[in-house]
Chains A and B, each alone.
Chain A
Amino acid sequence: MSRNRQELLRPARISALARRISASGAAVVLVLVLAMGVIVERSIIGGGSHGATSALPRPRSPIPTIFTASPTVKPSLPPVSLPLSTLEADVKTVTTSQLGDAAQRAYGKAPTAQPMVTLAHTDHAHSWAMGTTAIPVPAGDTAPPEVSLFVAHVTNGHWKVALAGTDAFTDLLAAAPTTVVPAAQERVLTQFGNASPAASVTSTGLMLPWKIGQSWTMKSAPGGLDFSGKSAQVLAAGPGWLYRFCSSRPGHGLVLLIHPNGLATTYYQMSAVTNLPDGSQVKVGAYLGKIGTDLPCGGTAGGPKAKPAVRFGLAGSALDGMTIGGWTFHAETLSGYAEHGVKKIMPGGLLDNYGSPPMQVLPLPLPIPSALPTPSPGLPGSAFPSLPALPGEEATP
């Protein structure tokens, strides 16, 4: 009992210590309040690459909601004779007529929904426009979305709309003002439309779309390759120009990166998608979004119990035979595999991101477009190697 007596002799010191310990809880809360304050501020301003989430809608602009507000679109402009809403309808018509057949072939049935159009740039007079268009994948279908870019110009009182991959697109690109098609992008956009550039590219110069050194789980999802990992942050596989498809809601959409070597990569199912305006230049490793289960362009995220992932692929060509992030992807076997040196990883395994060699810039000169055989409009539907899903796969980040 003498021990307890001794303790009873100096209660003030004990309780002061106790109070200090109790206060440390408040200190943690203080730090959290500061962090949340900054995060909320950033999402309200919408400037952060996380940007505003769907919980915080953007203010309405006089432009139809389907169009993404971008820096070049000034809501205060005087009304013009050809409203952008007619452009939207025209782009939908052109998309359906030029990409409809390809979509029907890729999806296995007729598309059930209208094409989804987003506007990237217009000039001040609203006589030029550029943007993205996609045919939504019917629900339950596993094909990758059929996507394309368009350039439009008012000629003879009508919008003339051209989709990527057509001669008209190349012609309009060349004539468009730099506010609509930045000079630096003209070359790669032309190449983007003109069938598969992959054949001419020996080294992709791309890395896997996450932090170098981390290993993510590869899953062969229906119609693509799904990746998921611990950090959840999806990063640009290479430098390039960014375009968003299928959604003008902040934080949503399919992301397409057009790289300076003529390749283009697609990132689907992401949440918290970057709010960089369409056409923004991004560096390799730039934040694009988080792995998710978002399906703005329709389709299926690999079953009802799908785990968050990013569906990564090359637009216009298959991953088969391509080397990305140090891994060469092969689709010749039943399930496909990725190879790095002696390592062979099957779907369900972990891939280390080894980064990429410096990217080569698209060589000049390009063949004259009119001399080419008529290229198929848009992009081939099989952008991903068709790897069958393995049953019972679990993503273990």
Chain B
Amino acid sequence: VKISRRFWITTLFLLGVVLVLASSRQADPAVDDVRSFLEFYSGVFALVGFTAVVAAGLAAADRLVTSITLRILLQAVHRALAVAATGFLATHIALKVMESHAKPSQVVLPVGGRFWVDIGVIASDLLILVLVTGIIRMRFTIKPRMWRILHASAYLWWPLSILHGLNAGRHPKPYVTLSYGACVAVVVLALVVRLLLAIRPRGRVLRARTVRRGAPTPAPPPVRDAPGPSDDEFWTFVRGGTK
């Protein structure tokens, strides 16, 4: 809470300074350059950012190769990228409305625009849902399953946002299309691996239980599904570290 208050005070102070500086006529060309740059690139940065967010999130959830330290750092990267990419997305939307390429209602409602623009609106709506639940999760505990489902909706809206990015605006160069295609492919592959890992250990535990029920034998050693630490260890570490 302390950090966020300092953040807001800094923001307001800097905003005041910059607004005063920019009100002079001499600043016009610079402001125009900034605006043109953001009109051209904020959408691109948002899409590249969210792609990196998905990758970092997936890597942070991995228990097969990623160490516990790396997972915590990746989680921080995931969060930082998500915040930055959302900032670019908000800028992108605001500028497109200011350019009158979209109506103000289209900020939330996916109607009345061109098809690929509407797709982008749907994607950003879903993103807002994930973001809000992500923030709520930090303050209150909501049901983990609910949060997981909402968070997993990213695998729906992220490809939608890529389709929007490739089709709604200027024509992408071939390498751009190829790169996004490669990203989707890698993520799909990683997801498949993750799903397989999630299913396999449960089968093992189940087998262990049936054995125990059949004949009372001494408890089997704890099953380790991966070389990394267990979930409990992970969360103890996280709580111990952030307190």
Instruction: Write out, one digit per residue, whether chain A residues 243-255 have a CB within 8 A of any chain B CB (1) or not (0).
Output: 0000000010000
Within the complex, what minimum Cβ distance (angstroms) separates A56 from chain B?
8
Scan residues 210-249 of chain A and give those whose CB is less than 8 A from a CB of chain B. 231-233
Contact B36 A231 (CB under 8 A): yes
In Å, the complex CA distance between A14 and B240 comes to 11
Contact B69 A30 (CB under 8 A): no
Which residues of chain B have C-beta atoms less than 8 A from A43's C-beta?
A: 98
The interface size of chain B toward A, counting residues with CB under 8 Å, comes to 60
Within the complex, what minimum Cβ distance (angstroms) separates B102 from chain A?
10
In Å, the complex CA distance between A80 and B79 comes to 65
> Main SS of the interface on chain A?
helix
Scan residues 85-143 of chain B and give those whose CB is less than 8 A from a CB of chain A. 86-88, 90-91, 94-95, 97-100, 104
> Main SS of the interface on chain B?
helix
Contact A30 B11 (CB under 8 A): yes
**Total A-B contacts with CB atoms under 8 angstroms apart:** 160
Q: Which residue of B lies closest to A35 (CB)?
A: B34
In Å, the complex CA distance between A251 and B101 comes to 13
Within the complex, what minimum Cβ distance (angstroms) separates B67 from chain A?
7
Residue from A3, A29, A35, A232 within 8 A of B84 (CB atoms): A29
Contact B32 A396 (CB under 8 A): no
Residue from A11, A18, A55, A395 within 8 A of B98 (CB atoms): A55
In Å, the complex CA distance between A49 and B27 comes to 11
Q: Which residue of A lies closest to B173 (CB)?
A: A396
Q: Residue B155 at the A interface, CB < 8 A?
A: no
In Å, the complex CA distance between A38 and B38 comes to 12
Within the complex, what minimum Cβ distance (angstroms) separates A219 from chain B?
13
Q: Residue A50 at the B interface, CB < 8 A?
A: yes
Q: Residue A32 at the B interface, CB < 8 A?
A: yes
Which residues of chain A have C-beta atoms less than 8 A from B83's C-beta?
A: 22, 25-26, 28-29
Q: Residue A45 at the B interface, CB < 8 A?
A: yes
Q: Residue B229 at the A interface, CB < 8 A?
A: yes
Contact A25 B82 (CB under 8 A): yes
Instruction: Write out, one digit per residue, whether chain A residues 1-25 have a CB within 8 A of any chain B CB (1) or not (0).
Output: 0011001100110110111111111
Contact A24 B80 (CB under 8 A): yes
Within the complex, what minimum Cβ distance (angstroms) separates B139 from chain A?
16
Contact A55 B69 (CB under 8 A): no
Which residues of chain B have C-beta atoms less than 8 A from A308's C-beta?
A: 170
Contact B100 A55 (CB under 8 A): yes
Contact A34 B18 (CB under 8 A): yes
In Å, the complex CA distance between A17 and B73 comes to 8
With A4-B68, A25-B81, A34-B15 as contacts: A290 and B241 at CB distance below 8 Å: no
What are 17 residue pairs bridging A and B, where the CB atoms are less than 8 Å apart in the complex? Answer: A4-B228, A14-B73, A15-B72, A20-B76, A25-B84, A26-B80, A30-B14, A33-B11, A33-B15, A34-B18, A37-B18, A48-B31, A48-B35, A231-B40, A307-B171, A396-B173, A397-B170
* B residues neighboring A (CB under 8 Å): 3, 7, 10-11, 14-15, 18-19, 22-23, 25, 27-29, 31-32, 34-36, 38-40, 42, 67-69, 72-73, 75-77, 79-84, 86-88, 90-91, 94-95, 97-100, 104, 170-171, 173, 228-229, 233, 237-238, 240-242
